[in-house]
Homo-oligomer: A and B are copies of this chain.
Amino acid sequence: MSDLHVLTRKLFRKNDSKIVLFVADGLGGLPLEPGGKTELESAHTPNLDALTFTGTLGLSVPVLPGITPGSGPGHLGLFGYDPLKYNIGRGVLEALGIDFELGPQDVAIRGNFCTVDENGNITDRRAGRIASEIGAKLCEKLDSIEIPDVEVFVRPVREHRLVIVFRAEGLRGEVDDTDPQQTGVPPLDPIARDKDSNPTANICKQFLKQAAELLKVDHPANLLMMRGIAKRPEIPTCGDLYGLRAAAIAVYPMYRGLARLVGMHVLDAGSTMDDQIGQLEEVWNDYDFFFIHFKYTDATGEDGDFEAKVARIEEIDAVMPRITSLKPDVLIVTGDHSTPSKLRSHSWHPVPVLLVADSCRPDQCSSFGENQCLNGGLGQFKSKYLMSFALAHSGRFEKFGA
């Protein structure tokens, strides 16, 4: 546990305040041309802009300068965890996201069904994106695989994606992916990165051998690859660290899984933003902290669709009045990382932050955008401190020292 958590655990106090953390995934962007505006700056956001008058802006750095985070590190930072200390494997996230109850001994793996030709070379890394029902049936078949002294669980996610969990005493998770990230070659062997992970690598091999046999009649899903082989990390909950009863209102499995990992209560979020805000309104009295996750700013950024990302940001702006009418003591609108549509991928650029509370020291900013954030009162800060700001502004921290 880091110094920061020693401090938060010691200083937190409980009260009746409400904190809303609205995460627009991949919010930060870039202009398409020098001198132009970013997606956030291009969007018409009268509600967010009005909030900058009472709020404070800033830019958060998810991991370290120049480092592009995945969704796991990005969100851990926002929840106040140093992403360099708590490394969460993809397999673990996927398992949590389908409500699989991971035990402390479990090793979880994200699987992808794929297509291989007669030489064993991969021709499609997603097996033609088979329908979810087909994937589910194949998983049922694989769930019957038996490995001595190991409990094996195989669960479908959606389409070609699945989760494999090995449960046995003393397993470690340091094993390389078998997905070669390209076609025309066979899958890689699962290689242990340390000696203690050799048993896990051997279990992976046995599983893959049996799976190949079972799947050979199931073209196009006639094989599978493994990614993000990992053990569930030991991670303190946000109840322990901050004294918060926290709720997550997220549609996508990975974000639900992340929230569950840090001890949030994961609510039924429906499938639209309207559903999500409706859920927020419904449970408003039951929690102290609300994490709302909106995926589509990232998805449109990854598609390289500048205009679509702008439109998604305007969708967020449109629901702000519903959130502010609940009168949260602290409202934060930010992202877990930047996803500039110009780059079609996550990026390392600092992430715009808007924090609104009565105790804000207002800055000179008048609209919510990257350039304005650069002059914001929060400055540029590591995103792991965002939660400290939230707790401070909600009166949930005691003074440190006499």
Footprint of B on A, CB under 8 Å?
A: 3-4, 7, 11, 30-31, 34-35, 38, 53-54, 59, 63-73, 83-84, 87-90, 93, 228, 340, 342-343, 345-350, 359-364, 370-371, 374-375, 377-381, 385, 387-393, 397-402
By the criterion CB–CB under 8 Å, are B65 and A400 in contact?
A: no
Complex CA gap A380/B71 in Å reads 26
Q: Is the CB of B401 within 8 A of A362?
A: no
- Summarize A's interface: helix, strand, loop or mixed: loop
Chain B hits for A391, CB < 8 A: 66
Q: For A389, what are the chain B residues with a Cβ–Cβ distance below 8 Å?
A: 65-66, 348
B399 pairs with A68, CB closer than 8 A: yes
The CA of A89 and the CA of B400, in the complex, are separated in Å by 11
Please state if A89 and B359 are interface contacts (CB–CB under 8 Å): no
Residue of B nearest to A254 (CB): B402
Task: Tell which of A65, A70, A374 has the most Cβ of chain B within 10 Å.
Answer: A65
Please measure, in the bound complex, the distance between the C-alpha atom of A291 and the C-alpha atom of B28, giving whole angstroms.
Answer: 31
| B30, A359: Cβ atoms closer than 8 Å | yes
Measured CB to CB, the closest approach of chain B to A264, in angstroms, equals 19
| In contact, B64 and A348 (Cβ under 8 angstroms) | no
Q: Nearest Cβ distance between residue A19 and chain B, in whole angstroms?
A: 12
Q: Contact check: which of B349, B379, B400 meets A67 at CB < 8 Å?
A: B400
| Chain B residues within 8 Å of A388, by CB | 64-67, 348
Min CB–CB distance A369 → chain B (angstroms): 11
A197 to B371, CA, bound (A): 54
Determine whether the beta carbon of A35 is less than 8 Å from that of B53: yes
The closest CB in chain B to the CB of A55 belongs to B34
- Select which of B84, B89, B340, B377 is within 8 A of A374 by beta carbon: B377
CB distance from A284 to the nearest CB of B (A): 24
Identity of the chain B residue whose Cβ is nearest the Cβ of A93 in the assembled complex: B402
- Cβ contact within 8 Å between B73 and A348: no
Q: Are B359 and A83 in contact (CB under 8 A)?
A: no
Contact of B90 with A402 in the complex, beta carbons under 8 Å: yes
Q: With A7-B84, A375-B374 as given contacts, are A73 and B401 in contact (CB-CB < 8 Å)?
A: yes
Closest to A382 in B: B65
Q: How far is the CB of A365 from chain B (nearest CB, A)?
A: 10
13 residue pairs bridging A and B, Cβ less than 8 Å apart: A34-B54, A35-B53, A59-B379, A65-B378, A65-B389, A66-B389, A66-B393, A67-B388, A68-B397, A68-B400, A73-B401, A93-B402, A348-B389
A399/B70 in contact, CB under 8 A: yes
Residues of B within 8 A of A379 (CB): 59, 350, 374, 379-380
For the complex formed, measure the closest distance between the CB of A82 and the CB atoms of chain B, giving whole angstroms: 10
Distance from A219 Cβ to chain B, minimum over Cβ atoms (Å): 29
Given A348-B392, A363-B371, A400 contacting B70 (CB threshold 8 A): yes
Q: Check A361 against B349 for contact (C-beta < 8 Å).
A: yes
A88 to B402, CA, bound (A): 8
Option from B377, B392, B400 in Cβ contact (under 8 Å) with A83: B400
Which residue on B lies nearest to A83, using beta carbons? B401
Q: In chain B, what residue has the closest Cβ to A31?
A: B362
Q: Which of A72, A90, A359, A400 has the most CB of B within 10 A?
A: A400
**A35 CA to B63 CA, complexed, in Å:** 33
A398: chain B residues within 8 A (beta carbon) = 68
